[in-house]
Copies of this chain bind each other. A is one copy, B any other.
Amino acid sequence: MLTENDVYALWITLKLASITTIILLIIGTPIAWWLAKSRWRYKFLIEAVIALPLVLPPTVLGFYLLIALGPHGPIGGMMQALGGQSLAFTFTGLVIGSVFYSMPFVIQPLQNAFYAMGTRPMEVAATLGASPLNRFFTIAIPLARSGFLTATVLGFAHTLGEFGVVLMIGGNIPGATQVISIAIYDHVEALEYTQAHWISGSLLLLSFFMLMMVYAFNRRFMVVRT
């Protein structure tokens, strides 16, 4: 059975995953577009940097983020100098960490989708009077639909299951920064297996339904290519 804490953790998790995914889509889309279309010689350096956060174990990445966000770290120090609060152990901190960590899962599929689209549809839209921004929204995004789907699913799911980073910079504070993945982990650690099974089961079921809906819905809007 779910405790009140667990329910709250689930709520925080969904909030975190949604916000992270939205932010990732917002900042990832222009980056992916640029990566797909730019002819800059040293683009590959940026591409390599984007995939880097992946190779560090999440807890370690979280550790470094913690140092960076902490009062002695560059970001945290800056925040404090500006009179702001430290971001560590806050929900905002969680969002920053998750965004950082799930970035490649959003950018890479989008980049591929934009690339596969070719230049022609955008040229046609331009001759039909659509401004760059307008054609980006009315042509590029719909045509990159399956890339967006993948990006969203991977980004969202990865943030759901995200753990190490969140544990480190979130501080696992129930009701504030404890997400469901850590709640399950805590139950497992505390040998409360039944509880762990329950939450895992609910999470899986919920995710399965969400994913199923997304994919089933997507079928209807598939862009057919020949």
Give residues in A with beta carbon < 8 Å to B.
43-45, 47-49, 51-52, 54-61, 63-64, 104-105, 108-109, 111-113, 115-120, 146-147, 150, 153-154, 157-158, 160-164, 181-182, 184-185, 188, 196, 200, 203-204, 207-208, 211-212, 214-216, 218-219, 225-226
Contacts and interface: CB of A to CB of B under 8 A. Distances in A.
B108 A161 contact: no
How many copies altogether? 2
A77 B115 CA distance: 47
A154 B108 contact: yes
Contact of A160 (B55, B115, B212): B55
Given A51-B153, A52-B208, A108-B153, A182 B57 contact: yes
A57 B154 contact: no
A99 B109 CA distance: 20
Given A153-B108, A157-B51, A211-B47, A162 B119 contact: no
A59 B58 CA distance: 12
- Most chain B beta-carbon contacts within 10 A, residue among A49, A55, A120: A55
8 contacts: A52-B204, A54-B161, A55-B207, A56-B204, A57-B181, A105-B105, A109-B109, A119-B226
Contact of A55 (B117, B120, B203): B203
Given A52-B204, A108-B150, A146-B115, A57 B185 contact: yes
Given A63-B196, A105-B154, A196-B63, A146 B116 contact: yes
Contact of A112 (B109, B161, B181): B109
Contacts of A64: 200
A59 B145 CA distance: 32
Contacts of A105: 105, 154
A225 B59 contact: no
A157 B54 contact: yes
Contacts of A157: 51, 54-55, 104
Nearest to A39: B219
Contacts of A52: 204, 207-208, 211
